[in-house]
Amino acid sequence: MRPNYWTMINRRFLNIIYPILLIGVVFIVWKYRENQKPASQQTVRLSGMTMGTIQYNITYLHPEGLDLSKEIDSLLKVWNQSLSTYIPESEISRFNLDSCFIFESKYFHPVLSKSQEVFEKTNGAFDPSVGPLVNAWGFGPDDSMNPDSSTIDSLRNFVGFNKVIFDNEKVCKSVKGLELDFSAIAKGYAVDVVSDYIRSHDINNLLVEIGGELMCLGHNDQGKPWRTGIENPKVRPEEQKLYAIANISDLAIATSGNYRNYYEKDGTIYSHTIDPSMGYPVQRNILSASVFAEDCMTADAYATAFMVLGLEESKKVLEREEDIEGFLIYSDEDGKLNHYITEAMKDKIEMIDGQ
């Protein structure tokens, strides 16, 4: 039976059009996949000084290598005008000289709120009003002071974050003479402020470090998590020996320790970490506390509190609080270095050989 004329025409048409359609489909798939690839990224590195003598280092990825150095410097200057105790006309300096202060910037209230939160959750171990005791023990502007018990008892009347009352508009103190110093949380807060600003420019892969406190978002220029070292707390600063390396994405890390800031007098070592409830430098077996959280202000505050609480109480807080993780280095009963890692961080922390 001879094939129908129109059937032959249709077959010829399909033989011609099918390869064209196939090429078109392949092109569309290729174009779609190309559009899904991330744009070529340039690595931008910035550095500078803030809070007087504290260095900052920033790395981020941007298709056009956008330079935000001037904007970040300006941002940190405004931040300092709010919270730096070294600037006489800053908001916090003026509050310390008065009984009440009405907020002028957007920075004072958030740090008060976070301080109150961590103060309560650590039973007062974190306390930004502890400054007078820190100064009395020689870790402030006057390093010659040697307080006796009566001096400590007197100064404790001016210490206690529960003596600070604030709302969305103003902050007041219930005890005249109380002063605030956010040095134990300030660097972490500044990291958050700078990170948020960089992210507002659609930059999602970045590392912001200010005075050793970090925010690590996204990935580095190799598409891998950011790597940051955790120091060995028993070596001299110039040795710069690491105890571990943290590989993290979308987390902040803050580390506190007594191994760098202390002095020895008459055979006694005095730590710069003061127990607000007792008024004396702490004597704990914990040497270093690294805390991980979604924001660096939280991590910074808890890292400071853990140095006051000690190992066992810090572990209890880590088990109770779901929004923080920790890596604690301590001296065991034999005087050897040991460490504690929360479960969620075990696959993110890489121990250095020999630890």
| pLDDT reading at 10 higher than 70 | no
Q: What is the percent of the chain where pLDDT is above 90? A: 65
| pLDDT reading at 44 higher than 80 | yes
d(C-alpha 140, C-alpha 138), whole Å: 6
The mean pLDDT value for 264-276 works out to 60
* Residue with the larger pLDDT of the pair 14 and 209: 209
Our CA angle for 220, 222, 227, nearest 5°, is 50
pLDDT band for 138, please (50, 70, 90 cuts): confident
| pLDDT reading at 145 higher than 70 | no
pLDDT band for 267, please (50, 70, 90 cuts): very low
- Residue 299, both tokens: 């991590």
| pLDDT reading at 269 higher than 50 | no
Phi, psi of 110 (to 5 degrees): -60, -40
The residue extents of the domains of the chain are 42-351
- Which letter does DSSP use for residue 107 in this model? S
- Which letter does DSSP use for residue 38 in this model? P
Q: Which residue(s) pair with 245 in the sheet?
A: 229, 350
Give the pLDDT of residue 36: 44
Give the pLDDT of residue 237: 64
pLDDT band for 274, please (50, 70, 90 cuts): confident
| pLDDT reading at 29 higher than 50 | no
d(C-alpha 234, C-alpha 345), whole Å: 23
d(C-alpha 255, C-alpha 328), whole Å: 9
Our CA angle for 208, 211, 214, nearest 5°, is 35
DSSP character string of 238-256: GG--EEEEEEESSEEEEEE
Options 3.40.50.2300, 3.40.50.1700, 3.10.520.10, 3.30.379.10; CATH of 42-351: 3.10.520.10
DSSP character string of 175-244: STT-----TTTHHHHHHHHHHHHHHTTT--SEEEEETTEEEEES--TTSS-EEEEEE-TTS-GGG--EEE
The mean pLDDT value for 153-174 works out to 95
Q: pLDDT per residue over 70-119, tens digit each? A: 999 999 999 999 999 889 999 999 999 999 999 999 999 999 999 999 99
Q: Which residue(s) pair with 269 in the sheet?
A: 264
| pLDDT reading at 248 higher than 60 | yes
The mean pLDDT value for 193-197 works out to 98
